[in-house]
Structure 1
């Protein structure tokens, strides 16, 4: 009865005000900082009445330097359509609650929850390291996927510019690149992308999960709005950059009814292809997802999970 009462209150609050429930952390997808699977102890925050939970709603992003000595990752999985990838950041400010990269923060001793969204590790030396790796006699040229794990155009890229620096290196080496993003910030680098497109060196995949502003705001809180993403498809296409759209993930009873509309608008914007992935909930993502789903969509949480 207690959980049902909570669910009813959450739903009523959202319907009445059109705003996030107070229990949600504004600007963040995850609600909690659940410990990773490598931790020996589970910690539970309890309000003692003296404001002890105030820090739990900390939203300020903190950026740390990542000490990686290489920046090109190799993929050996046959079900992933690329062999090489480059990720400028560990963690992602976009805060997509379903993000498959969340468990990677557990390897750093941090939470795949809110920590993943606000404690970001930047590869400051990426351009130099990328230059070194592309210069090796043993390097065999293949398409490098930018953003295979976390988004290369998340908000902090505006100041960090690591993605742009890496693109400049790839342009100089005639290195083919495939970008995956849901950030409109990709348009900042339109000059480089247009030049690379003339040489057949670039493709961009824009993620459009939903056209519902409310759903996007709660599920992908710091990502560009859906219409801005479609505008990026349109503008990049006009520059001669081949663009595909990823409708991923497909979530039964939440965004699956939008498939035809997303496809139609993407095609009209100039997308050359569209692909999808069904929602997957490996590792710590499942518990984080369930917290989010029961908070924001308690009326259909059981149905979503039953279909999945």
Structure 2
């Protein structure tokens, strides 16, 4: 059972601290019926060139990855970056209609659209809402190049739509080789083995597929990188990227460190923190794209 745990929201004047054990969390679904637009121009710290266009049919993410940079976006809604991000999920039921109207008004062809930037496009909710699928169909109608990055095998459901796209790639986020290794940091995601099987299914369908080894957590999963790349290649991957852990705000850093102390031994936590500080020049965070891509020490 998860209990409510949120660092103070920097955009709020007030914060609450429970006396005794916090209450258990519960999943809440909110519908945002009239978003102004679906295509967002976002600055991606871990992407060469910086700017990219994204479509997010959901806000928040049930997967609960403790390191996720998108946690801070929930604070803009008045929620917390901790358990609120995992349990207060915003759904945009009109996303396909709004996306279609937006593309109709676009004078120039979209260069590339990513699904997604601030959430996983294949949350469990997608199985019933089918918003990502319908938005992919819209992109196919307008010949929009698409990139998908996900942790979910549910993407295999949409192979027929992905095959309609002239320019498409699917990346599986796979920073850990085993369930035991992934559980402390992404406890509610599909197990790595299921993601590798889905990768193979996508590749066998003739769709370009890759692996995203992100984040690399210093002192924890660097040694897995060669095995992850080998396993991905054997599963049909033809491309890969990696990025070092990026704790994007004070609240994310607080939540990440707190969860490490809950789920890992003191020895393991000390090893990770010391390694992160070595790579971060004495800090837990890496400030630039180059630092997160190449690190600071000879090891990188």
TM-score when scaled to structure 2? 0.85
Q: Please identify runs of 4+ aligned residues in structure 1 that moved more than 4 A.
A: 76-79
| 1:45 aligns to 2:14 (yes or no) | no
Partner of 1:5: none
Partner of 1:36: 9
> Which structure: greater helix fraction?
1
User: Cα deviations across residues 7-53 of structure 1 (Å, max 9, x unaligned)?
Assistant: xxxxxxxxxxxxxxxxxx45xxx971223111223321112xxxx73
SS in 2 for 1:218: coil
Question: Matches of residues 29-178 of structure 1 in structure 2 within 5 Å?
Answer: 32-47=5-20, 53=22, 56-58=23-25, 60-66=26-32, 67-75=34-42, 80-81=47-48, 83-178=52-147
1:143–1:176 contact (8 Å) kept in structure 2 = yes
Partner of 2:205: 239
- Give the Cα–Cα distance (whole angstroms) in 1 for the partners of residues 184 and 42 of structure 2: 32
**How far off is 1:193 after superposition?**
1.4
Structure 2: where are the runs of 5+ without partners? 277-300
Cα pair distance change 1:237/1:91, threshold 3 Å: same
**How far off is 1:77 after superposition?**
5.8
Question: Matches of residues 190-209 of structure 1 in structure 2 within 5 Å?
Answer: 190-196=159-165, 199=166, 201-209=167-175
**How far off is 1:83 after superposition?**
2.5
Greater relative contact order structure (CA < 8 Å, 6+ sep): 1
Question: Matches of residues 221-240 of structure 1 in structure 2 within 5 Å?
Answer: 221-240=187-206
2:184–2:260 contact (8 Å) kept in structure 1 = no
**How far off is 1:156 after superposition?**
1.1
CA-based RMSD: 1.8
Question: Matches of residues 255-294 of structure 1 in structure 2 within 5 Å?
Answer: 255-283=221-249, 284-294=251-261
- Give the Cα–Cα distance (whole angstroms) in 1 for the partners of residues 156 and 61 of structure 2: 19
TM-score when scaled to structure 1? 0.83
**How far off is 1:78 after superposition?**
8.0
1:34–1:112 contact (8 Å) kept in structure 2 = yes
Alignment: residue pair count: 271
Q: Which has the larger radius of gyration?
A: 1
- Give the Cα–Cα distance (whole angstroms) in 2 for the partners of residues 275 and 291 of structure 1: 28
